[in-house]
Chains A and B, each alone.
Chain A
């Protein structure tokens, strides 16, 4: 079974530029998460999708960050314009359909995209 795919793996941009990240979840996983992980910290949820609908985006800085999940499969996360404090690893994760009712709703993480803003 293929895992969660993300691209690019690394990105270096200057502040005020824009950047986009792509994620392809595990086939059949309805729930998709984008996390931001700053060095030395745990992952922080930015946005959660259930199929192509947003479940939670309460911690997404909506003035500069946007995300979409067209057709309920792939997702893109965009930052425009980037700030120095956006330097982090952006992790995409997916999990089985939440309606399964299982407590062990394991999230599978992709390799992440390391963003450096200069």
Chain B
């Protein structure tokens, strides 16, 4: 059974701080990794994807991938109250276009 694991939280950070969200996955053949944000009562929206080891930056967001450790993370710099949401990690299984989602981490940014 392929799995994606996330700490459900809530993770509380003060406004302006860096929020660090983590995700581990079990399928070593996984090729692409996605971070989605989901506000309460809304559908997931893509924030970033990454498929190469290392860091990928987009504005206040940085995704980090370590395939050897089967670990992917999302850093949110200068966190804002509007960043308060559930962050879902999704993994595309190797050789497929099938995606496995984690349970999500609930982030609370305190004003």
Tell me whether A110 is interfacial, beta carbon within 8 Å.
Answer: yes
Are B44 and A105 in contact, CB atoms less than 8 angstroms apart?
no
**Bound complex: CA of A40 vs CA of B6, how far in Å?**
12
The smallest beta-carbon distance between B30 and chain A, in angstroms, is: 11
The smallest beta-carbon distance between A52 and chain B, in angstroms, is: 16
Which A residues touch B34, using CB under 8 A? 106-107
Are A105 and B32 in contact, CB atoms less than 8 angstroms apart?
yes
Closest residue to B96 on the A side, CB-wise?
Answer: A56
Tell me whether B71 is interfacial, beta carbon within 8 Å.
Answer: no
Tell me whether B26 is interfacial, beta carbon within 8 Å.
Answer: no
Binary per-residue interface labels of chain A (29-47) against chain B in the complex, 1 for a CB within 8 Å, 0 otherwise: 0010101000011111100
Which A residues touch B103, using CB under 8 A? 40-42
**Bound complex: CA of A106 vs CA of B98, how far in Å?**
12
**Bound complex: CA of A31 vs CA of B96, how far in Å?**
12
The smallest beta-carbon distance between A47 and chain B, in angstroms, is: 11
Q: What bracket does the count of chain A residues touching chain B fall in?
A: 20 to 34
Which A residues touch B51, using CB under 8 A? 103-104
Q: Contacts A42-B88, A103-B51, A105-B92 known; A95 to B43 CB distance under 8 Å?
A: no
Q: Determine which of B43, B96, B97, B104 lies in contact with A112 in the assembled complex, contact meaning CB atoms within 8 Å.
A: B43
Are A95 and B31 in contact, CB atoms less than 8 angstroms apart?
no
Are B101 and A44 in contact, CB atoms less than 8 angstroms apart?
yes
Closest residue to A3 on the B side, CB-wise?
Answer: B43
Q: Determine which of A56, A103, A107 lies in contact with B46 in the assembled complex, contact meaning CB atoms within 8 Å.
A: A107
7 A-B contact pairs sorted by A residue (CB < 8 Å): A31-B97, A43-B101, A55-B97, A103-B32, A103-B92, A104-B32, A106-B49
- Other A-B pairs beyond A42-B90, A48-B97, A109-B45, 19, CB < 8 Å: A33-B99, A40-B8, A40-B103, A41-B103, A41-B104, A42-B4, A42-B102, A42-B103, A44-B101, A45-B98, A56-B96, A56-B98, A106-B34, A106-B49, A107-B46, A108-B46, A110-B43, A111-B42, A112-B43
